[in-house]
Amino acid sequence: MGDLTSNSDRLIQEARIVRDDNRAGGRHRRNIGASIGAGSAALKRKAFLKTIRNLSIVTLMVLVGAIVVGMVINGLGFGGIVTTALVLLAAWLAVGMLGKVKIPKRAELNKGNVQQMVGRTELWLEAQRPALPAPAADLVTDMGVQLDTLGLQLEKVDQNHPAAHKVRKLVGEDLPEMIDGYRSIPETMRYEQQGGSSDTLSPTHKLVKGMELIRDEINSVNRQLAQGSIDDLSIRTRYLDYKYGATPVDDHVGGHSNGDTTSLSSPAKGTS
């Protein structure tokens, strides 16, 4: 009876997750196109500006070419104008297609320095988010903020620092492997308990739990790096306090001016 009750509670909990996921929009959530962090937003902005530049270049080339042809044949005519418009439209479509943000493959995430890896991982996570259950999708959004903070702190850290290696393992390997592993499971089995035991978690629960652990580890690395900066600031503050704060400024200046008066008055008497 106890096992049956526990199993029923588990099924109810699974059903609630499915219900909440559907209420949140399922695979078609409102924030499907939103950037989860500054790293992915910067990559999108860079691609957009590059597309605008290429569109300007292509437009200028087509128009200049049309003008030159018109001068050679003594006018384009209606047919030439239509042809120019069609060529321009085709060029714009081609540039637009080529200018789309390329979602990095999982094997490409861990390439380059750690800051680049963070930006690529944010972009990759955004592409995976629509296929994840609501709790996992929310964790992806939370991780975006953490990864932004991590990227800023890693700018001051050597690439061979243990923290950098840990981040590569967590963000560039463990997290993508976990999400890919979950997505390889058929949807009909993602909420089923495995192994027939009432206390066995479903793949969805395992994914959420694993992502929570990775989120906590990222937060731990952030705190360790921040603590190093705090310690450096404390050391500098103590040094400045030791160097400049031991003697009051007024006493220091007054003593200096009294000493100067004494040393200057003696030669004056000797001279007279």
What secondary structure does DSSP assign to the chain, as a single string?
-HHHHHHHHHHHHHHHHHHHHHHTTTTS-GGGGS-SSHHHHHHHHHHHHHHHHHHHHHHHHHHHHHHHHHHHTT--HHHHHHHHHHHHHHHHHHHHHHTSPPPPPGGGTT-S-HHHHHHHHHHHHHHHGGGS-HHHHHHHHHHHHHHHHHHHHHTTS-TTSHHHHHHHHIIIIIHHHHHHHHHTS-GGGTTS-STT-TTPPPHHHHHHHHHHHHHHHHHHHHHHHHHHHHHHHHHHHHHHHHHHSSS-HHHHHHHHHHHHHHHHHHHHHHH-
Confidence at 59, pLDDT banded by 50, 70, 90: very high
| Each residue's pLDDT tens digit, 168-214 | 888 888 999 999 999 998 988 888 876 655 457 888 999 999 999 99
Residue 272 has pLDDT above 50, yes or no: no
Q: How confident is the model at residue 86, as a pLDDT?
A: 92
Place of tokens 């690395």: 221
Q: Where are the domains of the chain?
A: 103-262
258 pLDDT tier (thresholds 50, 70, 90) = very low
Overall pTM surpassing 0.85 (yes/no): no
Model pLDDT for residues 10-40, shown as the tens digit of each residue: 545 555 555 555 544 544 444 556 777 777 7
Average pLDDT over residues 48-52: 89
Work out the mean pLDDT of the chain and round it to a whole number: 75
| Nearest C-alpha neighbor of 93 from the set 35, 61, 54, 60 | 54
Give 125-164 pLDDT, tens digit per residue: 888 888 889 899 889 888 888 888 887 777 777 777 787 7
Mean pLDDT of all residues in 233-260: 56
pLDDT(60) > 90: yes
Statement: residue 245 has pLDDT above 80: no
Most confident region among 84-88, 112-116, 266-270 by mean pLDDT: 84-88
Residue 162: its pLDDT value, please?
80
Task: Quote the pLDDT of residue 260.
Answer: 46
Res. 223 pLDDT band, cuts 50 70 90: confident
